[in-house]
Structure 1
């Protein structure tokens, strides 16, 4: 009975992580888009940048050039949707892993939020130094993907990922009272 209870608790933690990861990825994307707009590289450029994992970076380049020329809102529906989907799927994956990790740690709300922030830093390092270069090599996406952190700007890239993590941890922390009321063994 306790194994089933623990397994279902871990499953809930993973599902919560997927949902929280998608929400956190949207917060991260909004920050990235606002930062790109402020930096005159085009509001939608971050979405096109992410889409360049799958498609040629032409839309990203055109958006950046338009942004620098004063047109911040160059929009390409299909490429934007593709970038958003890739980004949310990545956020869901990182969120599920976070959920599985914290399912084993009986943390309070503040600790979950801080753990989320730390997870955002881990995701930053993993993305910048392992996953993006590996993805670029496997897909043939090249420099725009391999050097995404430097192209976006390390400061912006860092804040994006820390926002992702703190949002993720905050969502788990907000769910904590519900989990305790239900007698769940995990904060999910």
Structure 2
């Protein structure tokens, strides 16, 4: 019975972390898109940048050029935007699942887990910038746009995005834990 409970608990931690990672990746993407807009590189450019993992970088360049030349800051290309969002959310789910496992071993409150999440976000930044993105660029033969994503987005922006990802991830995982612990006594009392 303990092994089944332990397996179920780990499975739940992975699922909660993955779901929180998807939501945190959306918050991160919104920040990246606002940053791109204010840098005059096009609101949707970050999505096209991510999509260039498996497509060429023409859509990203089109978006950047349109905004940079005083044109449309909101150049929207549905296919690459959706592809970029999907890749980003899947990556967020993966990193979130790992965090869910880590957090399941920690007995911390919301604020402390948000802090651990922020530190985790920095680790995700470092792993992405120095290992994950160069490796993905090599595997998918996507070149400099992926390999040098942190530099192209701006190092400061890229770090802040990942710190935000981590904080939101930590808060959501802690909130799920709190919700579950609050509902647990009711479940026991009902049986």
* TM-score calculated relative to the size of structure 2: 0.93
1:88, 1:150 → 2: CA distance?
21
1:78, 1:37 → 2: CA distance?
20
SS in 1 for 2:53: coil
1:59 Cα deviation from its structure 2 partner: 0.2
Counting only pairs closer than 5 Å after superposition, residues 83-98 of structure 1 correspond to structure 2 as: 83-98=84-99
Gaps of 5+ in 1: 184-188
2:180, 2:4 → 1: CA distance?
16
The residue aligned with 2:103 is: 102
1:143 and 2:144 equivalent? yes
2:94, 2:23 → 1: CA distance?
12
1:179 Cα deviation from its structure 2 partner: 2.7
Gaps of 5+ in 2: 186-191
1:152, 1:132 → 2: CA distance?
13
1:9, 1:115 → 2: CA distance?
20
1:118, 1:153 → 2: CA distance?
20
Per-residue CA deviations over 1:145-174 (Å, capped at 9, x if unaligned) read: 000000000011011000100000010121
Moved over 4 A (4+): none
CA contact (8 A) 1:49 1:83 kept: yes
The residue aligned with 1:176 is: 177
* TM-score calculated relative to the size of structure 1: 0.95
Counting only pairs closer than 5 Å after superposition, residues 47-62 of structure 1 correspond to structure 2 as: 47-62=47-62
1:108, 1:162 → 2: CA distance?
19
1:178, 1:44 → 2: CA distance?
35
Counting only pairs closer than 5 Å after superposition, residues 6-155 of structure 1 correspond to structure 2 as: 6-70=6-70, 71-155=72-156
Question: Which one has a bigger Cα radius of gyration?
Answer: 2
Per-residue CA deviations over 1:44-100 (Å, capped at 9, x if unaligned) read: 000000000010000001111111112201111000000000000000000001001
CA contact (8 A) 1:109 1:176 kept: no
1:104, 1:9 → 2: CA distance?
11
CA RMSD in angstroms, aligned pairs only: 1.0
1:37 Cα deviation from its structure 2 partner: 0.3
